[in-house]
Amino acid sequence: MNRLVQFLFAGLAMVLFVACQAFAEPLPNATETKILTASPDSLPLERLFASPSLSGPVARMVKYSPDGTRVTFLKSRPDDQSRFDLWQYNVATGQQSMLVNSRLLEPNPVELSEEEKAMRERKRIAGSSGIVDYSWGTADTILIPLGGDLHLVTLSPKGPEVRQLTKTDEFEYDARVSPRGTYVTFVREGALYSVTLATGKETRLTPKADPAKAISYGVAEFVAQEEMHRYTGYWWSPDERYVAFTEVDESGVDIIPRFDIEADKVSVIEQRYPRAGRPNARVGLYVIDLKKGQTDRIYQAGPDDYLARVNWAGDSLWFQTVNRDQTEIRYNLADGPEWHMSTPYTEHNDIWVNLSNDFQQLPDGRLLLSTEDGDMRHAAILPRGGKGEAVAVTPTDEVLGAVDAVSSDGKTLYYSGYADTVLERHLYTISTDRPGHERAERITEAGKSWDVTVSPDGQSFVGTSSSPSQPPQTGLYRIDGKLIGWIEENALNADHPYAPYLTDHVTHEFGTLKAEDGQDLHYSILKPPGFDATRKYPVIVEVYGGPHVQTVKRSWGSLSDQYLARHGYLIFRLDNRGSDNRGRKFENVIYRRTGSPEVRDQLVGVDWLKSQPFVDADHIAIQGWSYGGYMTLMTILQAPEGTFAAAAAGAPVTDWRLYDTFYTERYMDTPEDNPDGYEASGVLPYAGDLSTPLLLMHGMADDNVTFDNTTRLMEMLQEKGKQFELMTYPGQRHGIRGQALQTHLMKTRMDFLDRHLKGRE
């Protein structure tokens, strides 16, 4: 459900959620002196969602060219922050320029296919337009899917030359250039195709899809995209001889009719959605030998197995499978051309296993991966062929975020992690020669959080960093961390979009509290401009609380927080147990019983708030979206009466039996194996205890947390005689997209929470 997630930051779900919070101009408290705060006009509500973005220009989807001479990235337009063009940065000269103007290739709006809409939802880019994806081929070719067709950009001395590869009524998606630049492959109508670039010849590589039997090829099924972050269903071998691809049979998966209710029409989408305890898609793995013209089946998943990851290492095909209980990741090996399968390595955990994308072959044939064997995720090396003991490379008492690169000689590892503090993500380096005998060296500057992309030659990296006082900046750095040049400096100078509102900018304060088991709970609190410790302020508790998400970190925050603070609110966040980047002990407490330890941790935060002399203890609200909406409901329904003055829950899961298999069963097992846990972890059994003023919000076309989660709660509350407020958004899915609707959602919350926190009618 990090797909309940990463509508957040990186994440986008949480960012979009927080970006949609609203409150009106503060009124004096009836029993307190007027709060000293900035004028609400110092940051108008409508400006939050208008273009250009108040956070300034941000480089997205940063990639090096194969020869390392260019850095390419997507950049939004000043007049439309949702539309992206492709830009380049010349490493030698430091100059940047637009490579591809999206409006030239797509001058008119294009109706997306259902598959493309779903893919963008899964990637959390559904609100974006223009160029939303691209891939490098050779050092001078770039593939751009746009408008449902494919365009190949060739970089010549005269400038970029664009060649349209497809022009069909159907929608081509999941397109990429083969490793040596000979082919472009893509999915069309549930089958895998290729185009030979030299001749333009198009070839279907797999059988045609069979919609009547719900069979498709080269695609990723719903849970692979939403929960495993596997967005593709095919993989090229490095020498271009082989293509591995999936056969997806969804005939056994339940059809959940989804009503895309728009303002002027209703469309019924028969979505194959595997709910907890119900059948999954059955996925087979095949390999095409382009030299022999032969296709072989390598693996066929049973009804209780998942195909999670596929990687090539020369002619060897490695693929990870996960059992339905999600207690084992099996690293399977098949060597071409005979493709006999073995399972040299298995990672096991009695609670559950977490996937990663860390897998590669070192120059000497050994294998590098990451594992949570023990408590914290760390990098480890397996002997050649994968047989033998995994030897830890990075410290096992520090959380590794991701393996970023290995030097060409295989002796130096670069990785992102949290060795210094969980509040900051940094790039580190460590030797692979003496595993376990040294500490890692931090490369990136402290006081910020970083996302990095290391160059193909390992001599530089592109780093995007931000801090509570500096919006995201992207620079090219030497591998030792010295800045070479700015790709997007985004300086907060007089020309910055945020400059008119910078005077009243406030930054979060950070601290820790103790959970009942003694573990640290990190929190942040944002105070209004002109904060006066002798006065009392209402509080907004922002909650997510679910696995694989961290909300408390030292980075540029949502500017909606600044808006709320200028209206006299304190904004409080706490990462409860079960959330990300703290290790298994911290995460495992939710096993088979969600919505309980997380709630107790949030109430630790509320108790701390109420003990502060500057907090108006009678006027504390809580709100969240997705898992945060679930947490909002579970917290108000289990907290002592009067704890909260109001609650706003968006797109909440209300019954885990309605959510998907891979996410739900990882934490809860199946409804058959854990009926008491499902009952205790659902919202509906507690509905009769509602005493807090409640606002429910949901997109009516949500294909992730389906709308019936909210309608079932509505019915239960009505049967129990409980009053609540409701705002639904026709045609909107899991996120509420677009300037107008985000503004509307903000105003809706403003009206609701101001009434209950400030007594405004």
DSSP states of 159-218 as a string? EEEEEE----SSPEEEEEE-TTSSEEEEEETTEEEEEETTT--EEE-SPPPBGGGTEEES
Cβ(745)–Cβ(699) below 8 Å:
no
Annotated active-site residue in 460, 626, 660, 681: 626
Which amino acid is located at 479 in the chain?
A: I
Task: Give the span between the Cα atoms of 399 and 671, in whole angstroms.
Answer: 32
Which amino acid is located at 697 in the chain?
A: M
Task: Give the span between the Cα atoms of 505 and 499, in whole angstroms.
Answer: 10
Task: Give the span between the Cα atoms of 82 and 735, in whole angstroms.
Answer: 14
Annotated active-site residue in 151, 229, 698, 734: 734
Cβ(163)–Cβ(183) below 8 Å:
no
736: CB partners within 8 A, 6+ apart = 16, 20, 697, 699, 729, 742, 745
Q: Which has the closest alpha carbon to 713: 741, 736, 682, 675?
A: 682
Annotated active-site residue in 260, 358, 660, 702: 702
Residue showing tokens 């900051």: 424
b/e sequence 2-19, b meaning 16+ C-beta within 10 Å:
bbbbbbbbeebbbbbbbb
Per-residue tokens: 252: 């056994």
Question: Is 734 assigned a catalytic role?
Answer: yes
What Cα–Cα distance (Å) separates residue 284 from each residue in 293, 303, 305, 512?
Answer: 19, 11, 11, 47
Cβ(150)–Cβ(166) below 8 Å:
yes
Report the chain's terminal Cα–Cα distance, integer Å.
37
Q: Which has the closest alpha carbon to 512: 586, 562, 566, 402?
A: 586
Alpha helices (H) in 50-144, listed in sequence order: 102-105, 114-123
Per-residue tokens: 630: 């679930």
CB atoms within 10 A of CB 545: 29
Q: Which sequence positions are flagged as catalytic?
A: 626, 702, 734
